[in-house]
Structure 1
């Protein structure tokens, strides 16, 4: 692994080349994003319809027991995969740019168009259903506006969330705003300074908020402030950002062996977390540091898979690439679908068979909605923006 030295803004376009060089389409990254979306979907399914997971958690095997849905209970880490991938892809998109005000404004406009149209379309469709099924007893225009603008509690004046997955979207938007300044900071100081500074910000924020409520981490507003504001997850984005700095000078065989090692550490850390499961909210280190360690391992695996690697071709398969294309819609739609099913069809979901049926129905509804959102809302809006006058061509990073 070689490192490039920091350079000035003036020499940056010629001197810095991200690992993804021209940011050509990489189907493996799309596949990873599709898997991340499915991990979050399965995590929420397990929490909403737990009967099947409970029935399978102690299946006998070779004189012991095992849980075939072990990783599903850690599906929340799919959010960190999204954050690390965003850190890498979006930093690569601006890596060699001069970052004049016009370019930065163009970047902000494109990123806003990546999130808001799909969000607004969902709100228009979703609100009547949540009202008719009783999930929301009354509409308050302040709450509608807060959801439309992604301004949520615990921010000052923030509103309650209609869709539980919305909490990550303000973090993405905050990262978009910060990214050009992170690149400028990197160009003047280097990657290690950026990583250490982002880690310091994240730790000071997390332990500072935790210290305000040291008697009990079960105090929910404390948990919200720890991870629902950019300083609390800045290091997670920075790990993806830093991938652009490093160029791996390894043979395919060496990359395969290293990927297996990092993947084993990643899986092993899940078992460490499993052992902490009942005390996580009382264990400062588990609560405040676990996702940071996992994000480092995620960044390592992504870096090792940026170039074609034998054994990883399945990640570039057409179904997974398609799933990556519609992953934003999958992320937006799966949770309200899961919440609405018991309201629309009560009494069907309490058995293992009902739990499996809920997953099937969720997929049958969510995937077409996600595909429709991508085809008729998200992609047309971005394509029209790219064709608008005075737009300079740029790599498409969704």
Structure 2
């Protein structure tokens, strides 16, 4: 993994562990202990759902380089767009489709949960449109809605790169999307909007622009005083409960994920190389396996949640992470090999066709 950025992988690890902690927190009916000023000892778990927003920031950040190389060099066309989308489709769909089979079998044959798994549910998930209908939004697995949002971002990103090139237009785009996101989450109760691309496109674009202007932004956020202040804000935000934990408060997620984006930029600048120790290696590996861990996040359904102790919660948390890592080795690593083989052939054929047409 020589070309991987370990900071980004550690960011992914943080995101997937937060989401996992949140799901177990809700499943086990945990409450934590309230502290003064609206904080709570279990705040990081109770607010762990913001890990999804962090994933969207990371996705936008990582897509900035690869998509920009394709669509901002003056050679953007239908062929390059189709190749780009095919690559993105293969990257997600292999592990995702296998996990759909896993959950349909687990739900219908082993009864691990009560979830709709009918033909409409499966087909809408296969085509990444399940988030466009409230009846299929959370069917099969509760985490799948975000994969539809992710795919919809991939569809839109090339057009954003082509049509928004100047600094002024990019800043205007970011501000418009920020206002749209905040407005939707403050004034709309339509889940298809507040949990969909209209609400989350801001975070994708924020990650994309953080990568695009990494050097400029890092000049400010990498200063020690700003860096440590950002960490404090991020940590205290996660510990803050307020009146109650409520994952409908998307504005909170937008703000915390924005703080995370600054922390990401500053960390990448300050820690270009990390110490080669067990903790760093373990966190980076969890980050590499985070997509698969996310797909099987609800595997704790196999356990009895009545009277589960705090020690049991910790063990279940570890079980979910380890199970996801196992499935990463079994499924995702192999689907990635397949994707890379297919894309090499596609790119070679595309190059031959391009050469023949010149």
Q: Classify the TM-score, shorter chain.
A: 0.7 to 0.9
Whether 2:340 is the aligned partner of 1:373: answer no
**Aligned equivalent of 1:334:** 297
Q: Does 1:90 align with 2:53?
A: no
CA-based RMSD: 3.5
| Deviations, residues 297-335 of structure 1 (Å, cap 9, x unaligned) | 111111112234289657992212211211110000121
3-state SS of the aligned residue for 1:72? helix
Cα–Cα, structure 1 residues 384 and 131, in superposed 2: closer, same or farther, change >3 Å? same
Q: Structure 1 residue 165 and structure 2 residue 126: aligned?
A: no
- TM-score w.r.t. length of structure 1: 0.74
Cα deviation, 1:265-303, whole Å, max 9, x if unaligned, reads 2223335x412426886xxxxx35222211221111111
Which residue of structure 2 aligns with residue 17 of structure 1? none
Displacement of 1:364 after TM fit? 3.9
Is the CA contact 2:296–2:324 (under 8 Å) kept in the aligned structure 1? yes
| Distance across 1 between alignment mates of 2:278 and 2:257 | 19
Runs of 5+ consecutive residues of structure 1 not aligned to the other structure: 1-22, 60-65, 211-221, 282-286, 394-398
In the TM superposition, what are the counterparts of 1:73-222 in structure 2 within 5 Å?
73-97=46-70, 98=73, 99-134=76-111, 135-136=113-114, 140-152=118-130, 154-155=132-133, 158=136, 161-188=139-166, 189-207=168-186, 209-210=188-189, 222=190
Structure 2 gaps, min length 5: 352-358
Structure with max Cα Rg: 1
Aligned residues: 341
Pair 328,94 (structure 1): closer, same or farther in 2 beyond 3 Å: same
The TM-score normalised by the length of structure 2 is 0.82
Runs of 4+ in 1 over 4 A off after TM superposition: 136-139, 156-160, 249-254, 278-281, 310-316
CA, structure 1 residues 148+185, in 2 after alignment: closer, same or farther (shift >3 Å)?
A: same
Matches within 5 A, 1:289-328: 289-309=251-271, 313=275, 317-328=280-291
- 1:234 and 1:207 map into 2 onto residues whose CA distance is 16
| Offset of residue 33 of structure 1 | 0.8
Q: Residue in 1 aligned with 2:355?
A: none
Q: How do residues 225-244 of structure 1 correspond to structure 2 at under 5 angstroms?
A: 225-244=192-211
Q: Tell me if structure 1 keeps the 8 A contact 2:134–2:192.
A: no
Deviations 1:328-364 (A, max 9, x none): 10000121x112333xxx86x5333443443343344
Q: Are 1:268 and 2:236 an aligned pair?
A: yes
